[in-house]
Amino acid sequence: MMPLLASALAVLQQPQSAPPYDPLGMFPPNASHNAGTSDWVFYFIFWTCLVVLIGVCVATLWFAFRYRRSKVGLIPQDSPHHSTTLEIVWSVVPTFFLVAMFWYGFKDYEDRREIPNDAYEIHVNAAKWSWTFTYPNGYQSQHLTVPADRNVRLRLSSPDVLHSVFIPAFRVKLDVVPGRYNWLWFRAIEPGVFPLYCTEYCGQQHSQMDARVTVMPDAEFDAWLAKESDWGALPPEVAGLKTYGANGCVACHTLDGSAATGPTFGGMFGTQKQLADGSTVTYDENYIRESILTPNVKLAAGFAPNLMPSNFAQALSDQKVDWLIALIKSKGAQ
Amino acid sequence: MIFPASNALQRTNYLNAQKGWWSWFWTIDHKRLGLMYLWGVFAMFAFGGFFAMMIRWNLATPDTNIWDPELIPAATALAKMDAYNRMFTVHGAVMIFLVIIPGIPAALGNFVLPIMLGAKDVAFPRLNRFSFHLWILGAICFILTFTVGGLDTGWTFYPTYSTGSAGKAVIFATLGTFILGFSSIFTGLNFVVTIHKLRPPGMIWFKMPLFLWAIYATAVLQILATPVIGISMLLLLVEYTMQIGIFTPELGGDPVFFQHLFWFYSHPAVYIMILPAMGVMSELIGTFSRKPIFGYKSIAMSSLAIAVISFIVWGHHMFLSGQSPLMSTIFSFLTFAVAIPSAIKVFNWVCTLYKGSISFATPMLYALSIIWLFGVGGLTGLFLSTMGVDIHLHDTYFVVAHFHFVMVGSAIFAFIGGIYYWMPKMYGRMASEKLGRITWALNFIGFNLTFLPQFVAGTKGMPRRYFDYDPEFAVYNWWSSIGAAFILVGMVLTLIAVIQAITRGRPAPANPWGGVTLEWMTESPPPEHNFEGDPPEVGDPYDVSLVEYKNELDGFVPAKPMASDPNMYDYRASLKAGVAHTNLHP
Amino acid sequence: MTATAHAHHGPAHLQHHFETSEQQFDSAKLGLWVFLLTEVLFFSALFVAYTSYRSLHPEVFAYASNYLDTNLGAANTAVLLLSSFTVAWGVRNAQLGQRKLLIMNLIITLLCAATFMGIKYKEYSHKYHEGLLWGGAEHSIFKHNQFMILDAVKEHSHAWNEGVPEAGVAAVKDLSNDQRRDVSIFFAIYFCLTGLHGIHVLAGMVLLTLILIKVLRRKITPEYYTPVDLGALYWHLVDLVWIFLFPLLYLIR
């Protein structure tokens, strides 16, 4: 009993971050700082269970063979019908191992739930059936790129149904629940490209809702992000489209001429626009600029005041406003 | 008390006492209801199994799918995905609500339970018939989902998908689940009252067959857990039809609240499925070892322990839903507690084999293989209850393989084993041993081939409910689909074996296997009211010395006139006293 | 196979598979108690919903409760308590073979149930008129986006325009979007709980009517009064649920 107790207590000293351990090759690449811990716990349970299972099955086969009816006849030998000692042994001994498993799992889980304060936050929006990753500088992408050796946390949100982020190589997974934020974190340890899946069934294209996770060396990451977010190098209307997505215009304004919460951007440029006070105005660069920065002054007919945020004078640089104008122009009715 | 086998079929029995389909449809005889449940479950098993095969066909390789352009040229990629999503949903919902949950309790339990008690029927025969009619109505509701585009929510009905995006089929499916829930509640209620009030004098609780203990524990779960799924389904229905908002964030509700309600039922439901299987296991292992079951009280009490603990572990399905870490920790810890009573049962079964007289009749082959299958299914549960490991394994094929090992490998295998075991009693005819063993081998090999590779696909990271997958998972899916083909052949042959037995099997003796429980003390098939005259006296249900083999009958008969003092027939005492057990021929 | 087909020595009401009347009565009683347990669990999910949402937004529940008419709720409580008394008296009448009293008590119970449903109908129609509905309902004044609230409802809804001035309760139009959304959950739970309870009252009325018919056809005797006993038990549960609903919904202050 003492060695058992000792091994149960040794659990308390389980290392924070175990080296990669996958003797049977059952896991995907080991690409985050605590993937090794999770694998180690998995194999701890695996070997324990294997011993029990082999024991039970060998005993079953041996008894069945040794005491087969064709050999022992219809009347078996006398044998006990119960044994309190055995019952206690096989209730108590497994308990030690179960507590050990629970404890390992608990430690590992706690480690994953306690998000370091310095973590780099990326916002993940999961909508049927694609991912949008938004970086602190507003840059958005359909795929995830993270620096190696830096703590990264993902803030998860969904506008429609349940989804779940799963990056097998990092051994992380968390549901994306509409109406609330969930957070998960990891620290990637080796550069590479890994898959990201949606693991909560979300309808028709659930199986198509995947993304690439690229881990790049920490030193290269900031430069990469700056380059990717430098929209000045792009044609203005393309930069405008990115601004349109990144700054939330997309939520209320369509580009195809259909009505939504706000007036559409499609097919408007150059037309005469009906206003709420009954007058009309030419839909030109000045009108667009004014409507973005002071939305309530020349209110479009059919829309209530104060629906649109009035902080874009601060939130958008002149350059971004210009890009948006270029976008609306490119969708205009020439 | 010796019934010449050839005569029992020709005498008036419950099968031929009344004639015409109406005498079946409107019967209140628990035996007839049990048989009708059995055939209903067979039909639904074929229905759900068809979709299982379609799923495996679709997943055989990364790019095959069942809607081959040559077969259905017009099917677009999206239409194929829609069809696939409907298939796994219907497969899951039908197999759980219409096959496994009613399988052992409603079909086998209905047939066996009153006879085991020496009773003429269950406590409320008309309620029993009502349960069955509700079951049919529920089944019809599920079939009707196809008339409105098919159900594609997954069997879990999670909002906000089920309340927002899904089609009208949700209405039929939630109604169907609600109705089936009440069918299940009434069956459980009937069994609880029957066991409490109709036990014969002399059958104290600890003289009850272990199958009845298991059914009792199951019935308690059915009564206490099922109302919660009933109300969740109603809430989902009003949410879907009237936007009541309790599960919808935009209306102030919370989708995770539904998950709590759902798993408050659906985790105990797992034990509603597995506990009766454990009961069947105990009967089979005891009878075919010709030895009193080892640790009777431990097995009986572990059924109750499992029933109690199963109510407080539902949160382990939700480690990743965003529930508080404290709750996850508590649920994880309690989940490990369920492992102990489950393990106790397995250890006791193995010890029963020790120094027994082991027969390899078909039912016993199923029982022996369940020790491996339930071992794998149960032990892989430990990985999933370990919070840190569950993060990686949750919602992958590891989970799929885990619950198939428990639900199919254990529950369905025990169901088939139980059918073989009680078939002589049901129809008065023996099934073919040869065909039985072949089908067992096909089922066993096929099952392992199908689901063992899925564990690895899961640890490698393949998510469940996927229409297609990355090429790295191809090899596991290929073998999995090959295994499914084995199961298909095995199950079709099993059905053929059952039909062959019913139509052409050799007449069965009253007690072909040497069981000691009361259903073996009446004719095969039993008369209309289960026993001619008064039911036999109750002895120890596992004292095999109470019956002895008669060569000329190829079956067992009561060894001695029953004495009023059961201690006299204590098996070991009788051996020590040198009581002659003359017939040693197997 | 019918219950009478089997030769059995015993009174006419004794079913074939029971040995004695006592066994049959005990079984029926145990069965009903178990059924009542499932009923309690059936309601429990809604009580859990009530508890969790109220603990999240206690002030919202206190606010919304002001829109329920305590007088009507109290009247309904009184009506149901009276019906519980009459139905309990009815069981005693059945045991003693007082047929006329039993019929009278059953009728009074049924009348009480009908009164309850009448008052409930008045409450519901008032709520509908005022737009005091869950957020997803078309006529609701508790929609998250105020532009989605129907003008027709806004115009004649006192709750929207004035609130409850005598209790110092703010008008709904002065609430923020999020507050309105949270209040809507109170009404969602209110309608689910009282609706489900109402369905149980209706079921109880059907049950009591069937029992009344049995009494009128002289099927109930002092030796066999199980249906009256069980019907009364069920009716007590229906009352009991209301005894919980009334303070939980109407009396939040």
State the DSSP code for B358.
B
- pLDDT for A333 equals 63
The pLDDT of residue B68 is 58
Domain-embedded: residue B12: yes
Higher per-residue pLDDT: B189 or A307? B189
CB nearest C17 (choices: B119, B230, B245): B119
pLDDT band at C165 (very low <50, low <70, confident <90, very high): confident
* Secondary structure (3-state) at B418: helix
Q: Between C6, C23, C45, which is nearest B261 by CB?
A: C45
Task: Identify whether B582 is part of a domain.
Answer: no
Residue of chain C whose Cα is closest to the Cα of B26: C1
- In B172-201, the residues whose Cβ lies within 8 Å of chain A are none
The pLDDT mean for chain A works out to 88
How many CB pairs lie under 8 A apart between chains A and B?
283
Q: Does residue B294 register a pLDDT over 60?
A: yes
Does residue C170 or residue C108 have the better pLDDT? C108
3-state helix, strand, coil in chain C (%, to 5): 75, 0, 25
Domain membership of residue B422 (yes or no) is yes
Question: pLDDT value at position B579?
Answer: 42
Q: What is the pLDDT of residue C133?
A: 94
The 8-class DSSP code of residue A308 comes to: S
- CA–CA gap between residue B121 and residue B117 (Å, rounded): 9
* B253 part of contact set with chain C, CB < 8 Å: yes
ipTM given for this complex: 0.93
Q: Does C37 touch chain B (CB under 8 A)?
A: yes
Query: Which pLDDT score, from 0 to 100, does residue A3 have?
Result: 54
Q: What is the pLDDT of residue B560?
A: 66
Per-residue tokens: B567: 């201690």
The per-residue pLDDT for B74 is 55
Q: Which domains does chain A have, with CATH numbers?
A: 2-113 (no CATH), 123-229 (2.60.40.420), 233-330 (1.10.760.10)
Average pLDDT over residues A156-178: 95
Mutate to test the interface with C, among B251, B262, B314, B531 (most CBs of C within 10 A): B251
pLDDT of residue B578: 43
Q: Count up the domains in chain B and report the number.
A: 1
**B358, A64: Cβ pair inside 8 Å?**
yes
**Per the domain annotation, does B584 fall within a domain?**
no
| Mutation to test the C interface, candidates B231, B250, B263, most C Cβ within 10 Å | B231
Short-list A92, A158, A150, CA closest to A124: A158
**What are the tokens at C110?**
């049924």
Confidence of residue C144 (pLDDT cuts 50, 70, 90): confident
Q: Which residues pair with A157 in a beta bridge?
A: A125
Query: Residue B230: which of C42, C188, C189 has the nearest Cβ?
Result: C42
Residue B75 pLDDT level (bands cut at 50, 70, 90): low
Residue B49 CB coordination number (10 Å): 19
Structure tokens at A99: 């507590």
Longest dimension (CA), chain C: 76
Mean local confidence (pLDDT), B241-255: 91
Separation CA B111–CA B108 (nearest Å) = 5
- Of B256-260, B271-275, C39-43, C169-173, where does mean pLDDT reach its minimum? C169-173
- pTM of the model as a whole: 0.89
Pairwise CB contact (< 8 Å): B350 & A38: no
Count of beta carbons in the 10 Å neighbourhood of residue B242: 15
Query: Once rounded to an integer, what is the mean pLDDT over residues C18-44?
Result: 93
Structural domain range at position B432:
5-576
Q: What's the confidence (pLDDT) of residue B5?
A: 45
Nearest CA in chain C to B226: C38
- A187 band by pLDDT with thresholds 50, 70 and 90: very high
φ, ψ at A213 (rounded to 5°) = -110, 115
% pLDDT > 70, chain A:
94
Q: Which of A190-199, B477-486, B562-571, C146-155 has the lowest mean pLDDT?
A: B562-571
Q: What is the pLDDT of residue C2?
A: 39
Q: Residue C8 has what pLDDT?
A: 52
Average of per-residue pLDDT across C102-121: 97
Sequence length of chain C is 253
State the average pLDDT for chain C: 91
- Residue of chain B with shortest Cα separation from C6: B529
Which residue reads 């609706």 in tokens?
C195
From C189, which residue of chain B is nearest by alpha-carbon distance? B246
CB-CB under 8 Å, B321 with A175: yes
How confident is residue B351, by pLDDT bands cut at 50, 70 and 90?
Answer: very high
Question: Which residue has 């973590």 as its token pair?
Answer: A119
Residue of B nearest to C44 (CA): B228
- Is A258 a residue whose pLDDT tops 60? yes
What is the band of B72 on the pLDDT scale with cuts at 50, 70, 90?
Answer: low
Decide: helix, strand or coil at residue B419.
Answer: helix
| Residues B249, A178: C-beta atoms closer than 8 Å | yes
Nearest chain B residue to A36 by CA: give it.
B389
Of B119, B226, B252, the CB nearest to C182: B252
A159 touches chain B (CB under 8 A): no
User: pLDDT tens digits, residue range B8-61?
Assistant: 777 888 998 889 999 999 999 999 999 999 999 999 999 999 999 999 999 998
- The rounded distance, in Å, linking the Cα atoms of A5 and A12 is 12
Nearest CA in chain B to A166: B392
What pLDDT score does A126 carry?
93
Which of A132-141, B307-316, B379-388 shows the lowest mean pLDDT across its residues?
A132-141
Partnered with residue A174 across adjacent β-strands are: A165
Residue B438, pLDDT above cutoff 90: yes
Where do the domains of chain C lie?
48-250
The more confident residue out of B203 and B567 is B203
Q: Per residue in C190-207, pLDDT tens? A: 999 999 999 999 999 999
Interface subset of A 298-327, CB within 8 angstroms of B: none
DSSP A188: B
Report yes or no: B323 at the A interface, CB cutoff 8 Å.
no
Contacts of A76 in chain B (CB under 8 A): 289-291, 355-357
Taking the CA of residue B219 and the nearest CA in chain C, the distance in Å comes to 11
Residue A205 has pLDDT above 60, yes or no: yes
- Asked if the structure places residue B73 within a domain, the reply is yes
In a domain, B63, yes or no: yes
Smallest Cβ–Cβ distance between A41 and the set B160, B368, B389 belongs to B389
Contact C21, C12 (CB under 8 A): no
Closest Cα in chain C to B232: C45
pLDDT at B167: 83
Lowest mean pLDDT segment, chosen from A164-178, B445-459, B474-488, C140-154: C140-154
Over residues B95-123, mean pLDDT = 95
Query: CA of B392 to nearest chain A CA: how many angstroms apart?
Result: 5
Question: Using the beta-carbon criterion (under 8 Å), do B165 and A104 form an inter-chain contact?
Answer: no
CATH number for the domain harbouring residue B150:
1.20.210.10
pLDDT on residue B130: 97
Split at pLDDT 50, 70, 90, the class of B566 is: very low
pLDDT (mean) for B177-189: 97
Would the CA dihedral through B485, B489, B490, B495 be positive or negative?
Answer: positive
| pLDDT category of residue A315 using cuts at 50, 70 and 90 | confident
Q: Residue A60: which of B165, B371, B581 has the nearest Cβ?
A: B371
Please list every residue in chain A whose beta carbon sits closer than 8 Å to the beta carbon of residue B396.
Answer: 166, 199
pLDDT value, residue B7? 60
CA atoms of A240 and A251, how far apart (whole Å): 15
| Percent of chain A residues past pLDDT 90, beyond the cut | 49
* Superfamily of structural domain C48-250: Cytochrome c oxidase, subunit III, four-helix bundle (1.20.120.80)
Residue B378 lies in a domain: yes
Taking only the tens place, the pLDDT of each residue in B322-346 is: 888 999 999 999 999 999 999 999 9
Answer yes or no: is pLDDT of A13 > 80.
no
Whether residue B165 has pLDDT greater than 80: no
Q: Looking at chain B from residue 160 to 219, which residues have their Cβ under 8 Å from any Cβ of chain C?
A: 185, 189-190, 192-193, 196-198
B350–chain A Cβ distance below 8 A for any pair: yes
- Compute the half-sphere exposure of residue B420: CA atoms within 13 Å on the CB side of its CA: 30
Highest mean pLDDT among A27-36, B505-514, C32-41, C143-152: C32-41
- Is B386 in contact with A102 (Cβ distance < 8 A)? yes
| Identity of the amino acid at A330 | S
Q: For residue A74, is pLDDT > 50?
A: yes
